């Protein structure tokens, strides 16, 4: 099972492996304070795509299409994450304010389609 949570939400034992999927470290959180198992920077959208999207819901569908293309062109970035998903619960952590339009939601959709 793949869950998605903001990094600012408390950890829960049901989270399973907690994976940060942002390219940049979340603002306002000390590295020692965030409970996570791994940080997959390379699975995040490119800086160019992230800046283009700018969390604009009107660009969501096109963002996902472009992001999925980036992931398809770089399977090394997400293949070990897919293995974690196959072995148990995984929570993808992100820092964006928009809980419905963010890279973790898109990544979950992509991973679920590939598994």
pLDDT, tens digit, 9 for 90 and up, residues 75-103: 999 999 999 999 999 999 999 999 999 99
pLDDT tens digits for range 29-59: 999 999 999 999 999 999 999 999 999 999 9
| CA-based radius of gyration for the chain | 13
Mean per-residue pLDDT, 4-21: 96
Is 111 in contact with 85 (CB distance < 8 Å)? yes
Give me the numbers of helices (H) and strands (E) for the chain, helices first please: 4, 4
Residue 28: other Cβ atoms inside 10 A: 9
Mean pLDDT of 3-18: 96
Alpha-carbon gap, residue 115 to 110, rounded angstroms: 9
Length of the chain: 115
Q: What predicted TM-score, i.e. pTM, was given to this entire model?
A: 0.94
């Amino acid at each position: 099972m793949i869950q998605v949570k903001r990094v600012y939400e408390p950890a829960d034992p049901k989270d399973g492996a907690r994976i940060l999927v942002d390219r940049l470290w979340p603002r306002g959180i000390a590295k020692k304070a965030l409970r996570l198992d791994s940080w997959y920077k390379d699975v995040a959208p490119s800086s160019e795509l992230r800046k283009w999207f700018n969390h604009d819901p009107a660009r969501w569908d096109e963002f996902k299409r472009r992001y999925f293309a980036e992931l398809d062109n770089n399977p090394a970035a997400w293949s070990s994450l897919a293995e974690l998903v196959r072995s148990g619960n995984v929570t993808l952590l992100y820092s964006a304010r928009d809980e419905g339009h963010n890279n973790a939601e898109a990544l979950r959709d992509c991973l679920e389609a590939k598994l």
